[in-house]
Chain A
Amino acid sequence: MYIFINSLKNVIRNIGRNILLAIILLAVIVGCLTALIIHTTSKGLIEDYMALFGAKVYINPNSSKVSVMSGRQSEQIIPLPEVYAALADSDCLMGADLSCQVPSVSDTLLGLGELSGGTAVPIAPNGGAFTKFPTMNVKGYTNPEQLDDFIEGYRGLIEGRFPVKDNECIVSEDFKQLNNLHLGEIIELAQGMVEHNPLSLEVVGFYFDLTQNQFGSAVDAPAAINVRNDIITNYHTAFDFAKSDPRVDTAAYYLKSPELLYVFEAEARAAGLSYDYLVTIDESAYLRVVEPIKGMGSITLTFMIILLTLGVLIVAILAAVAIRERKFEIGVVRAMGMKKHQVALGLVFESLIITIICLAVAIGIVLIITQPISDMLLVKQLSINEPQDTSTGTSMMYAGMQTSLTAQPPDEMQVVINMQAVVMISLVCLLLVFISSLVGIAQITKYEPIKILTERN
């Protein structure tokens, strides 16, 4: 204990020398901590981006082969549903969103717009038996709750719950009122084009719907395209319902990491995906968002390495000079019987005390300066990485094809002192303490007290 107290007093006794050391340490710690915070924050942002956007897979027709494809049957152009289903089970994925839409009819239910639009006319597909024209759409989704309309608030559950099990559904409030539906009621549907393929669904929820129809905002749009007639269920239910004409309307796959793209593509090819399709992630969007942040991360990391190297060198030199100046003091305490390891411990305590004080001051300074520095760096990086041309060309809406991401680079980065930065700066401080102590310890082990005192006297 006395060693620690003595070290504490020594920090004050040698205040002049220690102030110089503290200034260097403070500069190193402030620099490193600022760099670390910006680096870890930017790293976190990149990881978040990867989780949200960067790993989204696009399966697009290869433009160089489009002309060849256009001469084929549609089944050859559009990947088979089995391919999508197989890919959805890939280990490379953190998730997959598939959807399937089946135009439907019902003997007992009316569709909005059916009465006014007069769309319930018989048609004769393929010259065969007449069936009813579709008046509603059964739409199946892997994650109905995660639909953009629900997330963005254009639709919202007002009663009941989302479908969880097979053969459950939710319908719009307008559809409910039109057909006087109640929770738990079973509705009977059939495919519009196929007479004998019934589907029974239990109504488990109702939602308000503020979305617009494809051709305008009128609620009384023709029944077949009226979004208020959507009957939302899970993907499996809709897919099974569409057995005679299974079709995947949209498919979005989210890789665990962008690096898994090539593995995923190999799986897709093995599952039967033609080479007429490209399996890609949106690199341009990825670069547009990630590059400025990545640039900041690189700059701060480089800065930190240079600063730390210089800092360690200066601290080592200062420690060597300081210990030479205190050689006599060490000789005296050794002559009084203090052991080498006690002297060393005293030096470690002194370095530790100075470093902790510097760290505390540094945290205060960093809290003030980091955000402006981060903003400045981000502005610079954004100007460097400004996109030359962001046009994405024509989008062909094949099943499974996603349009280019609209993700934009962040115009600000909220930096916070995170746990990773705290751990790293603690390690940096320990390194500085270690270096300064090591230099001192290396020096004191070389000398015997009698030699130090004799030299002095």
Chain B
Amino acid sequence: MSLLKLNNVVYRYEGGKKNVLKGVNVVFESSLIYTIIGKSGSGKSTLLSLIAALDVATKGQITYLGTDMRELDRDNYRARNIGVVFQSYNLINNYTAIENVVLSMNISGSDIKNKKQYAYELLETIGIDFETANRKVVKLSGGEQQRVGIARALSHNPDIVIADEPTGNLDSETEDEILAYFDILAHKENKCVIIATHSDKITNIGDKVYRINDGRLSEGKTKR
């Protein structure tokens, strides 16, 4: 099922002279893992920020379920339809792990009654125990923080999960565990998972691999 469609998307930073993205065309569907690879500064993070509605394309069209992103309430879209996992976690440091997750659920307007219980269960699923869940995130390890970031991204049950270098700061063992979880998300929970990475390991789990080079996106190998 086609969730997200980018049609000839161009992006230039405010005041910039050069286009960072130069006419990107791509379609993202549910139940697949997409990996986007490219060198630093090639436009991977910019592409993800456009998909996450954190920024607006200079030209072209991005549609979610057929609706132009410009016509969508971008705050609502971020709160309900998409979950973002950042390389540097971007958790609120003076909140506990559980508070970070519950806040995301509250913002999304989730109708789950016992949000705290749901958040505990979610954290437990991705390897965060009760004690760790009640610690401030600033006191957690990188791997634990990234798990909390993933739990937060999934807390409101979004259609699309995007991850920008999700394992960039993690050890190999933790990286494997997180990738395994992404695999479950896409193939068992039917999410559309889009990952920007340098990592070959991540590239290998992608159902579809795209390479971005000098602002242009081209399709690489396809698993399926």
Contact = CB atoms under 8 A, between A and B. Distances in A.
A326 to B, nearest CB: 9
A448 B54 CA distance: 8
Nearest to A1: B106
B64 interface: no
A375 to B, nearest CB: 46
Interface stretch (B23-31, B85-93, B181-189, B194-202): B85-93
Interface stretch (A43-51, A71-79, A95-103, A334-342): A334-342
Given A449-B54, A450-B55, A335 B103 contact: no
A453 B86 contact: yes
Given A332-B90, A450-B54, A337 B49 contact: no
Nearest to A329: B92
Interface in A334-370: 334-339, 342
Given A449-B54, A450-B49, A336 B88 contact: no
B106 A337 contact: no
Contact of B90 (A14, A335, A448): A335
B79 interface: yes
B75 interface: yes
A343 to B, nearest CB: 10
Contacts of B90: 331-332, 335, 453, 456-457
B78 interface: yes
A338 B108 CA distance: 8
A337 to B, nearest CB: 3
**Residue of B52, B77, B95, B99 with most partner-chain A CB within 10 A:** B95
A325 to B, nearest CB: 11
A337 B88 contact: no
A336 B95 contact: no
Contacts of B107: 333, 336-338, 342
Interface of B: 49, 52, 54-55, 75-80, 84, 86-88, 90-92, 94-95, 99, 103-104, 106-108, 152
Closest 5 interchain pairs by CB? A337-B79, A337-B78, A2-B106, A450-B54, A13-B94
23 contacts: A2-B103, A2-B106, A6-B103, A9-B99, A329-B94, A331-B90, A332-B90, A332-B91, A332-B92, A333-B92, A333-B103, A333-B107, A335-B52, A335-B54, A335-B90, A336-B152, A337-B76, A337-B108, A448-B55, A450-B49, A450-B55, A453-B54, A456-B88
Given A6-B106, A336-B104, 17 more contacts: A2-B106, A6-B103, A329-B92, A332-B90, A334-B75, A335-B52, A335-B78, A335-B90, A336-B78, A337-B77, A337-B78, A338-B79, A338-B107, A342-B107, A448-B54, A450-B55, A456-B90
